[in-house]
Structure 1
Amino acid sequence: MTSAISLPLRFQVGARTVLSVRRRLVRTGLSLGEAMRGESFETPRLNPADHGYLITSLREDRLAAITAQHPGMLALVRQRYSRRYADMSGSYDAYLATFSGKSRSTLRRKVRKFAKISGGELDIRIYQSPEEMAEFQTLARCVSAKTYQEKLLDAGLPDDPEYKAQMMRAAARGEARAWLLFVQNKPVSYLYAPADGDTLIYAYLGYDPEWARHSPGTVLQIEAMKQIIEEGRFRRFDFTEGDGQHKRLFATDGIACVDLLLLRKTAGNYLLAGALAAFDRGVDFAKRLGLRKWVRRFSR
């Protein structure tokens, strides 16, 4: 039986959390394959102390059915997005052909410029074995500690021994790939992607902010995609939940999904759900009023 855990329900403007309220929720995160198939699933029974469920990457066309299965609960869509992924089953040229001409030109220019400042060619290293993965984690942590993901979102590459051991176990099974981009033997960007069958999962990407103007994350991503396709083992690259410019650029397809919050009908949860809905509408209204730049600036 899946246990509920204490999860923060965030009042967010972009990446910035203004306020959060914790609830004990059973979290069900659907994989890319599950989202693509859109199959029915059963939510586990709640314990008396549990507040409800958080279902992520639920296909939007399954929303009404799941809500109808829980008539005694408050239903709130926290976000709508395209669960983006890249089809890696063809050639690298076929993958590049999915980009617009302008995007292909921009990517090539960024790769050339980065190669130039790196002494003429890119220094990108792939890590696959357990020993290599241990080395990757140590080097990538040096970069992650500088990133906004870690400083503002607590979403950098984990530093705890258990996660490092988990990475090494995945590598021993051949179920993980990792890359580092170096300049003069110094790591400036990292990408870690564990595997789920024939799908690699976009888990952690980060770069040294001192190199931001040279787009190291973009350069590393496109070169990693090339290596993945040339290896020929993985059919898809899953950009996971949520949306963003980076995911839109490198994905070839997507599935319309929602993150659905289901809460017990209590007075406190009525107030919380109403406040969350009102806050989200307010942020959307501000964007429609033309305050998108202010919202983006505040969210950083």
Structure 2
Amino acid sequence: MVAGAGMHVITWKGAPDWLAAYDAAAAALPGLTFGQTPEWFGAYVRHIVRPPGRSVLVELREAVGGPLLLAMPLLVEPGGMRRLVSPSNYYTAHFEPLRLPGGEDGRLYAGLLRGLDRAGLPWDELRLEPLAPEGRAYDALHEALAAAGYAWRADKCHTNWYLEVGQGGYEVYERRLPSRLRNTIRRQRARLERERACEIRIADTPEGVAASLGDYERVYERSWKPAEGNVLFIRDILERFAARGWARLAVLYVDGEAAAAQIWFVKDATASIFKLSYVPDYARYSPGTLLTAAMMRRVIDEEGVEVVDFLTGDDAYKKDWMSHRRDRYSLRIFNRTARGRLAGLWNTRVKDLLQGRWQGACNQ
């Protein structure tokens, strides 16, 4: 589908064709987060998207046949309320469209909002999440919304803890940790080595990751965590990220049995902590803490990362390991259709008014 939006031209492709187009666009952009990669979205389309929902790639140019300036994957949700949403779920730490060189950010996003209907993607609500305030799209979207007059609201959807590594290597980093955590690492490491046979293996090749995957899954199944949301998605991501050299699968063995396991991704000087689990039977040795410390030493001293990212969640223990905290937001934009105007009125005015009255009554 093709439509003009002022001076902009919008096209879109359905799956699976859009994955190849996205791959070509992403190849021209260095420094993408792992959640922006074609590998990530390919696995998402294969394992997360289910009919009657469908995924599309919206492309924006300034003229027919002109260079691609903006590429945004979206899900078309079925139902009476016509929603276009970012392909995000509990695995997604950050959503950011591809922004290629050329054009002005605010004007491009304003053109995108105006042109979706004419391009054959009618919508009442557009929901993008999780957006990062430090990302390029966040300010550009707010600039476009201020100029275009759409109703919208932004709500916090999760918290992100991360570490700016700095100079000095792991030993300097460890000295900055809370004394309670430092003592736990040293005491429990000595205790485990004294009482049991232990070994840490860190797989970083396709063959190594494939060989360790079974141990990771057994640890996860025996851990305190709920059942994995989508095992096939995790396997697909690991296989494809391992082929690119981004996957790290670490397992701590106690007397030959897997006691803790973690999945990290290392890409462009950033180490992202994706999955953590341990077997409660070994809790007396703090196996998760020991494995995290070993991985921190690995990515800081051997791989030279500049940032370690704990991705989603405001769990108290993450503060001990990280240095900075930031929020991620869900942005809901309401179109000027009848349903969109009604939803916008409810979500931007009436809902807050009713909640304010309820809270005021409770506080009296």
Output the TM-score relative to the length of structure 2.
0.58
Shift of residue 252, structure 1, vs aligned partner: 2.8
Give the AA of the match of 1:3. P
**Greater C-alpha radius of gyration:** 2
Indicate yes or no: 2:221 matched with 1:145.
yes
CA contact (8 A) 2:126 2:332 kept: yes
Matches within 5 A, 1:164-243: 164-243=235-314
Q: Which has the higher contact order (CA 8 A, sep 6+)?
A: 1
Q: Distance in 1 between matches of 2:269 and 2:247?
A: 11
Provide the C-alpha distance between the structure 1 equivalents of 2:261 and 2:355, rounded to a whole number of angstroms.
33
Q: For the structure 1 residues 242 and 60, does the alpha-carbon distance in structure 2 shift closer, same or farther, using more than 3 Å as the test?
A: farther
Q: How many Å apart are 1:180 and its aligned residue? A: 0.3
- The whole-number CA distance in structure 1 between the counterparts of 2:353 and 2:185 is 40
Where in structure 2 are there 5+ consecutive unaligned residues?
Answer: 1-57, 59-71, 89-93, 100-104, 335-339
Within 2, Cα distance between the matches of 1:55 and 1:170?
23
* Counterpart code for 1:223: A
Structure 1 pair 277–180 and aligned structure 2 pair: CA distance change class (3 A): farther
Matching residue's letter, 1:107:
I
Name the residue aligned to 2:342.
267
User: 1:202·1:239 contact (CA, 8 Å) conserved in 2?
Assistant: yes
Q: 1:105 aligns with which of 178, 183, 187?
A: 183
Candidates 119, 127, 136, aligned match of 1:53: 127
Letter of the 1:112 counterpart = A
Q: Is the 8 A contact 1:88 1:229 kept in 2?
A: no
Paired with 2:277 and 2:353, the residues of 1 have a C-alpha distance of 33
User: Aligned residues, how many?
Assistant: 258
For the pair 1:118 / 2:190, whether they are aligned, the reply is no
| Aligned residue type for 1:235 | E
Q: 1:92 to 1:23 in 2, by over 3 A?
A: same
Query: Are 1:26 and 2:100 an aligned pair?
Result: no
Cα pair 2:165 2:300 within 8 Å, conserved: no
Which whole-Å deviations, capped at 9, do the CAs of 1:98-148 have from their partners, x for residues lacking one? 2133332233223223334433xx411110111111012121111112334
Counterpart Cα distance in 1 of 2:129 and 2:260: 32
Distance 2:238 2:320 in 1: 27
Equivalent position amino acid for 2:245 in 1: G
Matched residue, 1:128: 204
Match of 2:144 among 66, 69, 79: 69
Per-residue displacement from partner, 1:167-215 (whole Å, max 9, x unpaired)?
Answer: 2332233222120011111112111112221212111111123333432
CA distance in 1, matches of 2:258, 2:354: 40
In structure 2, distance between residues paired with 1:132 and 1:279: 55
Distance 1:192 1:277 in 2: 40
Counterpart CA distance in 1 for 2:284 and 2:353 is: 37
Q: How far apart in 2 are the matches of 1:197 and 1:260?
A: 26
d(CA) in 2 for partners of 1:110 and 1:234? 26
Report the equivalent of 1:12: none
Q: Is the 8 A contact 1:26 1:54 kept in 2?
A: yes
Sort the Cα spacing of 1:173 and 1:27 in 2 relative to 1 into closer, same or farther, 3 A. closer
Q: CA deviation at 1:22?
A: 11
Amino acid at match of 1:217: G
Contact 1:84 1:240 (8 Å CA) reproduced: yes
Asked if 1:3 corresponds to 2:78, the answer is no
User: Which residue identity does 1:262 align to in structure 2?
Assistant: R
**Aligned equivalents of 1:262, 1:221: Cα separation in 2:** 36
Letter in 2 for 1:219: L
Equivalent in the alignment of 2:42:
none
Name 1:37's counterpart in structure 2: none
Q: Which secondary structure does the structure 1 equivalent of 2:330 belong to?
A: strand
SS at 2:225 equivalent: helix
Change (3 A) 1:274 1:242: farther
SS in 1 for 2:177: coil
Contact 1:78 1:260 in 2 (8 A): yes
Question: Aligned in 2, Cα 1:279/1:181: closer, same or farther, shift over 3 Å?
Answer: farther
Over 3 Å counting, the alpha-carbon distance change for 1:279 and 1:67 in structure 2 is farther
Q: Deviations over 1:16-44 (max 9, x none)?
A: xxxxx99541258257xx9xxxxx67655
Question: Which residue of structure 2 aligns with residue 10 of structure 1?
Answer: none
- Distance in 1 (CA, whole Å) between partners of 2:225 and 2:354 is 23
C-alpha distance after superposition, 1:36-93 (max 9, x if no partner) = xxxx676554531462122324227997774453241320313463442341653111
Superposed counterparts of 1:38-49, under 5 Å: 43=109, 45=113, 46=116, 47-49=121-123
**More divergent stretch after superposition (97-106 vs 162-171):** 162-171
